[in-house]
Structure 1
Amino acid sequence: MNSAPAGNDLGTGGCPVTGHRTPLYGPEFTANPARVYERLRANGQLAPVELAPGVPATLVVGYEAALEVLRNPGDFPRDGRRWAKTVPEDCPVLPVMSYRPNCLMTDGAEHARFRGVITDSVARVDPNKVRAHVEATADMLINQFAERGSADLLTEYAVALPLWVFTFLHGCPKDVGERMVTGMRDIVDMRDPERANERLTTALLELIALKRAEPAQDMASWMLAHPAQLTDEEILHQLFLMLGAGTEPEANLIANALRLLLSDHRFAGYVSGGSMRIEDALDEVLWTDPPVANLSASYPEREVLLAGRRLPADQPVVISYAAANTDPEFGDEHRSGNRAHLAWGAGPHACPVQGQARMVASIAIEKLLDRLPDLALGVPVEDLPWRESPFLRALAGLPVTFTPVRPVETAPETTQLPAVPAPARHAAPLPTAVRQRWKHAIIRWWRGQ
């Protein structure tokens, strides 16, 4: 790795990443991103792309180059505030990529402080209680469509279950949780992102205010009480990150694995004695169709050399987990039987809860297949709709059919939200003056200020 101040000549060995920029949006990319990645690899491990119209970036499509970026925050820092000032204020990818003081978008001591609050709080969670909660919640959700004989497993199961897990872990009232997830999905899908950002932030602040007033045995309360003494604003941004990482990708992991199990002949007959296991399906999805396809943007502060190419300062370098994992240079033989994929990231910013996320997905899928053993896709696999997003590989629907079954009795105590005594409480709405103050702060964060 070489670096030099902006404008310095890096020599003939470092040709710049230039040429036609391939859009990571539109019908072609949404329908078949793997074909786009294959075409991009023709020019090496780095490719010039557009994340949105007029928003250039370098996409890292090679496995080795991706590892180098992820493990080297010195040359590839996560703070994108200088970049944010170069794009229009209504840029649709800003809410996802703008700097926030959280452990994903900071480095060094600041990153360690934020990450420690999360990892220490996660360590206090009882995995047996989480497992029981996931199993009971899965039964509760399946009961809602079990007698119907058909369902959209995306909206009715894969999206709903991570929401319940998040609200359980953070002692969050259900109405607040629903507004959080709706806001996050609108941000990722780039639907009125400024309003979605405001709606999500307001819901998170209501949760923080509730936990300041009534701390309990949940992650939000533990984070607020942590010796690092994060401010409400800092807690807000850690919760934003945990919500984004704990609901959207988890839903996509569950849905993408179910799609594979229900469409790939290698998994046919799994329930009736097939040799392929749910864990195998999860491994394959994490390798070849990871729920987060392109993210982890870094912003070199000066011109740097990577994989023999010169990258300009203050332009996003985005990791394509989907392309890097399927890099032909890595070889299929290296993927069989190991978990060296990059779906959870790598280096100092690797996902700190990857084991828990995998456990939730595994339980959710196993419970569903046990309850509905003749589950089948309701449409041909090639007709399944996909959401348009440069960041996620996410289905827009997963229709299925099955033989109707009777609901089962669930354990209600495990699906009730902690620290919300009966009758269920709602977080108090924020006063108007507070809402206005935070609205202006939201706009500043969104614009990278």
Structure 2
Amino acid sequence: MYGPGFAADPAAVYERLRKAGTTGPVELAPGVRATLVTGYEAALHVLRSPETFSKDPRRWRDLNDGTVPPDSPVVPMMMHRPNALFTDGEEHRRLRAAITDSLDRVDPSALRGYVEKSADTLIDQVAPDGAADLLRDYAMVLPLLVFKQLFGCPPDYGDRLVEGMSGIFDGVDAEKANELLTQTMIDLIALKREQPGADVTSWLMAHPAKLTDEEMIHQLVLLMGAGTEPQQNLIANSLRLLLSDDRFGGSLSGGSLPVEDALDEVLWTDPPMANYGVHFPVRDVELEGVLLREGEPVVISFAAANTDPAKSSGHRAGNRAHLAWSAGPHTCPAQNPARLIAAVAIEKLLDRLPDVELAVPVDQLEWRPGPFHRALATLPVRFPAVAVTEQSAPAAAPAAVPVPAAAPEAPAPVPAPAAAVPAPERTGPRGFWASVVAWWRGE
């Protein structure tokens, strides 16, 4: 599941596995064995049975006995962290409550306004060119703008956050990336202890769950990880569909913009995290006739389960019964803001650049290898160039994403970054990260 063949056509792999049943043996990385669940009902059973299938990776037998080395590229995505994703029972409920209560303090209307303004800023950078890579120039950058604001992240932390997240998801020097990301979170927490603000980091600290600094680090890693890579994939995969599938308007020129329908389709067929939801049986157990050994990883294929022929009806528009957000006690707590961010980002782009079209045939687009995500490598497009003048440019981004009226005790808002900050220069892979750093810092 880690090679380019799987990335190019994962559906073919799922189809082969289904011939043997609703589960099958896979290799997530060299020497890393797991069982992949491809059936919808089987996946639901695992996700809704925490008494049998634990989320705690400390049960992972092959990691504990050294069969899987600690520097394996998938370990940072599967290792134990004291966060809501990798815990069970009361500990999970306490940590999850801190996350959900803090996210609930973000006002959706204000979030929409901030996403719109951030999107306008990025579109202004590419509009005069008549061409762009919507992954690198838009989908990858917009979530960083939003999360920089929501988490109160200072500009000079941007390089470490971007490089750490990228390294973990891509499995490139993942151990170093994990260390970099952890240290960045330590520094952010120390700053917010001294200077709290109206941001998710400060709200987590103030929550009655009384998170320790270690717990704070790992909740932030979880939230930022879930809100960057998967968010950019949801935006990019949906744009790909809208620009290539006649069911959704083809080039969209002169027609309606069925963004919500496209999001539904992508969440069913190409979810941003296609295979994850790792569980560990607490004892040897049978799942639909297959013996699953205690401590061996069981990975949920959200993509395969969603397209299970025994379950799929083909009617996906408006149907939210997919498993893209998982299910059971570990259902994603941020699915509403995540969907809002993606929908607003897509709507704004198609409104500003209505004649945008793919610059290459859709079957020539490349997918990034990796066992967990469904991620494009690039999304090149072309469109009639649009001049952006000071008079025509959108107004500056709002000062902050305020909390709802129900949270009167919130501290003063944190200033937003200036809307005139340029987007990163469009360069090669190495140059891209350097340019993101410069853009983040306002250089």
Quote the residue 1:325 is aligned against: 306
> Is 1:58 equivalent to 2:35 in the alignment?
yes
Quote the residue 1:302 is aligned against: 283
Q: Is the 8 A contact 2:264 2:316 kept in 1?
A: no
- Give 1:353 shift: 1.2
> Is 1:79 equivalent to 2:70 in the alignment?
no
**TM-score, reference length from structure 2:** 0.87
- Equivalent of 2:341 in 341, 360, 363: 360
| CA distance, structure 1, for counterparts of residue 196 and residue 180 of structure 2 | 23
Q: Point out 4+ residue stretches in structure 1 off by more than 6 angstroms.
A: none
The amino acid that maps onto 2:21 is: G
- Give 1:185 shift: 1.5
| CA distance, structure 2, for counterparts of residue 365 and residue 124 of structure 1 | 24
The amino acid that maps onto 1:412 is: A
Quote the residue 1:396 is aligned against: 377
List runs of 5+ in structure 2 lacking aligned partners.
402-412, 419-443
The amino acid that maps onto 1:80 is: P
Quote the residue 2:7 is aligned against: 30
The amino acid that maps onto 1:42 is: K
| CA distance, structure 1, for counterparts of residue 269 and residue 89 of structure 2 | 31
- Give 1:336 shift: 5.2
- Equivalent of 1:111 in 92, 100, 115: 92
Residue 321 of structure 2 aligns to a residue whose secondary structure is coil
List runs of 5+ in structure 1 lacking aligned partners.
1-23, 424-449
> Is 1:311 equivalent to 2:306 in the alignment?
no
Deviation per residue, 1:267-308 (Å, 9 max, x gap): 235744546611110000000111101001011121011112
| CA distance, structure 1, for counterparts of residue 400 and residue 106 of structure 2 | 16
- Give 1:386 shift: 1.1
> Is 1:48 equivalent to 2:29 in the alignment?
no
| CA distance, structure 2, for counterparts of residue 91 and residue 269 of structure 1 | 41
CA gap 1:412/1:421 in 2 versus in 1, 3 angstroms: closer
Quote the residue 1:162 is aligned against: 143
Matches for 1:40-439 after TM superposition, within 5 Å: 40-83=17-60, 84-86=63-65, 87-268=68-249, 271-274=252-255, 277-333=258-314, 335=316, 337-407=318-388, 408-414=392-398, 419=414
**TM-score, reference length from structure 1:** 0.86
| CA distance, structure 1, for counterparts of residue 417 and residue 121 of structure 2 | 19
Q: Is the 8 A contact 2:102 2:204 kept in 1?
A: yes
Residue 203 of structure 2 aligns to a residue whose secondary structure is helix
Q: Is the 8 A contact 1:267 1:274 kept in 2?
A: no
CA gap 1:340/1:386 in 2 versus in 1, 3 angstroms: same
Deviation per residue, 1:9-49 (Å, 9 max, x gap): xxxxxxxxxxxxxxx12121011001111111001100000
- Give 1:57 shift: 0.3
- RMSD of aligned alpha carbons: 1.8
The amino acid that maps onto 2:298 is: V
| CA distance, structure 1, for counterparts of residue 141 and residue 202 of structure 2 | 23
Residue 277 of structure 2 aligns to a residue whose secondary structure is strand
Quote the residue 2:429 is aligned against: none
| CA distance, structure 1, for counterparts of residue 309 and residue 2 of structure 2 | 24
Q: Give the percent of matched residue pairs that are identical in Structure 1 and Structure 2.
A: 60
| CA distance, structure 2, for counterparts of residue 160 and residue 195 of structure 1 | 22
Deviation per residue, 1:363-405 (Å, 9 max, x gap): 0000000100110111111111211110000001111111111
CA gap 1:50/1:128 in 2 versus in 1, 3 angstroms: same
Q: Is the 8 A contact 1:211 1:221 kept in 2?
A: yes
- Give 1:204 shift: 1.3
Residue 410 of structure 1 aligns to a residue whose secondary structure is coil
Q: Number of aligned pairs?
A: 400
Q: Is the 8 A contact 1:137 1:415 kept in 2?
A: no
The amino acid that maps onto 1:366 is: E
Q: Is the 8 A contact 1:271 1:370 kept in 2?
A: no
| CA distance, structure 2, for counterparts of residue 56 and residue 269 of structure 1 | 41
